[in-house]
Amino acid sequence: MAAVTEVERLLESGLAAEAGGNVREALIRYEAAVKSAPEAARPALRLGTLCHRLRDYERARQLLDRAAGLDPNDPEIAFRLGATCDALGDRAAATASYGRTMALAPAGWQTWFLIGRQHRQLGRAEVAQAAYRRALGIIPDQPDVLAELGSLLLEIGRPEEALPYLEAAVKATRTDAGLALQLGLAYLQHDDVIAAQAVLLDAKHLDPADRLVDKALQDLANHRKRARRNRKAA
């Protein structure tokens, strides 16, 4: 059995820190892995993916471009680079990276995710759901797919069905303010104001400048005010 290298230990401890919501420790571990193995693609992928989740898209793109140069045949790298280019508004680069992802992994979860997203954008919710479920059949705990399916169900007015997917996504990735926001909104639609507040405050902690989180917290406050007025009226 091969010995675990220092870089592997750093990546494993970074993943553990990320899963526990310890952003600072995860960044330290991934940074150290990148410095220890500058010619390895995996550390740059991990750090780039975390930077994307933290919405530092410029740095994420630098790291993911580096990873893609080191390993151009990794569909995970191509997919993450496409998502980051998409977030930056570079549609041409995103389309190219997504196309490469599908060519490298035609039956992979990333391809089914992209098929689902395409159908969702075209308003074909049922077909999109089927594609997302195919992706989850390949990797059941993949947070991006869980979040996408959950947000789709939330969007079409099915918050009860959305909750388990969004809860699983946030549990798997506790460093993403966007996922926490989606879960908070689902709880709010489900009239679970205590759970909504806890998750939305987590989202606020992760990204204090996110105005959508501020709006959700204001909606939560308004919801509580209406509930108090209704109780007094009764």
Model confidence pLDDT, tens digit, residues 35-55: 999 999 999 999 999 999 999
Res 234: pLDDT: 60
Question: Residues 6 or more apart from 77 whose CB is under 8 A from it?
Answer: 41, 45, 64, 67, 68, 71
Closest CA to 106 of 119, 93, 94, 115: 115
Res 226: pLDDT: 81
Res 4: pLDDT: 54
Res 223: pLDDT: 85
Res 105: pLDDT: 96
Closest CA to 158 of 127, 189, 179: 189
CA dihedral 159, 163, 165, 171 (to 10 degrees): 150
Tokens of residue 50, six digits: 């975390």
Q: Residue 114 corresponds to which amino acid?
A: L
**Angstrom distance (rounded) from CA 148 to CA 230:** 35
Distance linking the first and last C-alpha atoms of the chain: 70
Query: Between helices 177-189 and 143-155, what is the axis angle to 10°?
Result: 40
**Angstrom distance (rounded) from CA 29 to CA 168:** 24
What is the pTM (predicted TM-score) of this model? Answer: 0.86
Res 233: pLDDT: 67
Longest dimension (CA), the chain: 70
Q: Which positions of the chain have pLDDT values less than 50?
A: 1-3
